[in-house]
Amino acid sequence: MGMRGIHTSINDIRKKVFAEVARLSYNYDPEVGLGDMENMPYRVIPGEVSTYRESVFLERAIVRERIRLAMGLPLRDVTEHATVSRGAEECVHPEKYYQPPLINIIKFACHACPDNKVVITDQCQGCLAQPCRQICPKDAIYMERGQAHIDPAKCVKCGKCMSVCQYGVILRMERPCAVACGMKAIRSDAYGRADIDQEKCVSCGMCLANCPFGAIADKAQIFQCIQALRSETPVYAAIAPAVAGQFGKELTPDKMRAAFRALGFEDVVEVAIGADLCTLQEAEDFLEEVPAKIPFMGTSCCPAWSVMAKREFPKHANCISMALTPMVLTGRLIKKKHPGCKVAFIGPCAAKKLEASRSSVRSDVDFVLTFEEVMGMFEAKQVDFAALAAEAVPSEASADGRGFSVSGGVAEAVANCIRKLDPDREIKVQRAEGLNECRKMLQLARAGKLDGYLLEGMACPSGCIGGAGTVQLIPKAAQEVEHVKKLSGKAHAYESDYSEILPNLD
């Protein structure tokens, strides 16, 4: 679960940075330029005494890089002088998309954590039996001054000593970002700091959510999206189903539209409507293709899972559904209804930023913002949720569509649909959350153990509600999703009012 939903100083800094960038964009005047970027670190980290790290200068240096990433700009090279705002003028246009890589490590914020090391803590009781020493296959454990120690040159990190210590004082020290990465994409650089192998990374953002030093950050489009909000073009907020409860108790579902209008959006559309359409498409594809054309079918909505599946299991790439994701279907739906508008997807997910930057999706979704980034926008605009007028809660999406954000919800929605289309069809479902578990599921499928199955893969713990851009504790978020499902006017995706137009969205 990591630190999700536990309020830490890292959340504070991130929120302040996002709010500063949002404020800069809301007040941006091309005549004045972006010089105020130089002052922003002093507002995020005021005073002359450090709060979080050994020096206020280091804190500000890290915040400077955070500000650049939040603007969609690349990190600066530490070895040469460059202003915080270097290159920023080029990124102020709404059309500008951040340059890859999306997920970045601010090297001088990295703790260079020990990477897979077995250590005996100083709570060792120096017992007479010394089972740790007896069981060690490499004779790596020795006694000194009444305590056991490990010779790192001999240790092979097998962990046998850990299993026999009756005091439980032998630990495996691992890098939190590397443990969280299901792609084994995190390695060490020459200085022992974390480094991302971009060839392996699928931008799920789990490293970012689990780094206790706040050294990993993704790029954002807060500035560019607000520039679009300030233009003549209407911008619609397409809100992912995981939004339930993310903005706190005061922003209830009946105030969501008013809150987003306060930021400058034209209106709010639920991505759960697109989830309903995605469900219909996947149910039809499943009935048509399994087992006639493909042995099993994987769901399409999580981009990190689908990229991993196609990359690591290329012979079964055709078994991942070709259905458009809820984000893309909702974007197309909005643009069909309101030609010439722009769409901002507001969700829990870092990988959606990468999905939206693909050339095939670029025209459907203009911006991707996380809940955490939008919190910064609410802060910048000082939106008082309590003072907003309540309106009718949108009821076009089904309960199944709203359940997409919780692990198991996608498969359940599709299975319900298949039962309606073909009541005699037996539907077997397997689901996995976290890319390591997803990989194991695909290995079983490749071995022919899951023929005839619908496979649901989710890169994040508990599904989208555990995404890198979420704010709430995962169990609390799951409760909130259940609550909004009950407010829905329809139970299942096949009741959608939009089903007739699905063929026109392909």
As a whole number, mean pLDDT of residues 313-318 equals 97
Residue 503 lies in a domain: no
Tell me the C-alpha distance between 419 and 229, whole Å: 43
In this structure, what token pair is assigned to residue 223?
């500035």
Beta bridge partners of 148: 143
Residues 210 and 342 in one domain: no
pLDDT beyond 60 at 1: no
pLDDT beyond 80 at 106: yes
Q: Contacts for 477-483 with beta carbons within 8 Å, 24 or more apart?
A: 477/5, 477/242, 477/244, 477/245, 477/246, 478/406, 479/245, 480/244, 480/245, 480/246, 481/241, 481/242, 481/244, 481/245, 481/402, 481/403, 481/405, 481/406, 481/409, 483/244, 483/245
CA 477 to chain centre: 14
DSSP SS3 for 391: coil
Helix then strand then coil, in percent of the chain rounded to 5, is 40, 15, 45
Residue 238 lies in a domain: yes
Q: Give the domain CATH number at 208.
A: 3.30.70.20
Residue 289 lies in a domain: yes
Residue 505 lies in a domain: no
pLDDT beyond 90 at 92: no
Tell me the C-alpha distance between 201 and 50, whole Å: 34
pLDDT beyond 60 at 304: yes
Tally the domains of the chain: 4
Residues 205 and 329 in one domain: no
The pLDDT value given to residue 338? 98
The pLDDT value given to residue 2? 63
Q: Which band of pLDDT confidence, cut at 50, 70 and 90, is reported for residue 28?
A: very high
CA 174 to chain centre: 22
Task: Tell me the per-residue pLDDT of 112-121, one tens digit each, with 9 for 90 and over.
Answer: 999 999 999 9
What secondary structure letter does DSSP report for 394? P
Residues 213 and 192 in one domain: yes
Q: Which band of pLDDT confidence, cut at 50, 70 and 90, is reported for residue 394?
A: confident
Tell me the C-alpha distance between 226 and 147, whole Å: 60
The pLDDT value given to residue 94? 67
The pLDDT value given to residue 48? 96
Tell me the C-alpha distance between 330 and 345, whole Å: 9
Locate the DSSP E strands across 50-123.
103-105, 117-120
pLDDT beyond 90 at 276: yes
Q: What is the phi/psi pair of residue 368, to 5°? A: -125, 125
Residues 80 and 48 in one domain: yes
Q: Which band of pLDDT confidence, cut at 50, 70 and 90, is reported for residue 99?
A: confident
Residues 103 and 128 in one domain: no
pLDDT beyond 80 at 146: yes
The pLDDT value given to residue 352? 97
Residues 292 and 205 in one domain: no
Q: Which band of pLDDT confidence, cut at 50, 70 and 90, is reported for residue 103?
A: very high
CB atoms within 10 A of CB 221: 26
pLDDT beyond 90 at 339: yes
CB 471 within 8 A of CB 372: yes
Which of these, 421, 437, 405, 74, lies nearest to 271 by C-alpha position?
405
Q: What is the phi/psi pair of residue 207, to 5°? A: -65, -40
The pLDDT value given to residue 91? 80
Residue 502 lies in a domain: no
Q: What is the phi/psi pair of residue 262, to 5°? A: -65, -25
Tell me the C-alpha distance between 52 and 46, whole Å: 12
Residue 441 lies in a domain: yes
CB 343 within 8 A of CB 364: yes
Query: What is the CA angle 248-470-97, rounded to 5?
Result: 120
Residues 201 and 240 in one domain: no
Residues 10 and 158 in one domain: no
Q: Give the domain CATH number at 333.
A: 3.40.950.10
pLDDT beyond 80 at 57: yes
Task: Tell me the per-residue pLDDT of 161-179, one tens digit each, with 9 for 90 and over.
Answer: 999 999 999 999 999 999 9
Residues 415 and 291 in one domain: yes
Tell me the C-alpha distance between 98 and 71, whole Å: 8
Q: What is the phi/psi pair of residue 158, to 5°? A: -70, -25
The pLDDT value given to residue 502? 82
Tell me the C-alpha distance between 241 and 401, whole Å: 8
> With pLDDT > 70 as the criterion, what percentage of the chain qualifies?
99
As a whole number, mean pLDDT of residues 369-391 equals 97
DSSP SS3 for 335: helix
Residues 213 and 306 in one domain: no
Residue 383 lies in a domain: yes
DSSP SS3 for 25: helix
Tell me the C-alpha distance between 52 and 397, whole Å: 44
Residues 333 and 251 in one domain: yes
Residues 297 and 339 in one domain: yes
CB atoms within 10 A of CB 151: 12
Tell me the C-alpha distance between 352 and 434, whole Å: 16
Q: Which domain holds residue 156?
A: 117-173
As a whole number, mean pLDDT of residues 401-424 equals 97
Residue 506 lies in a domain: no
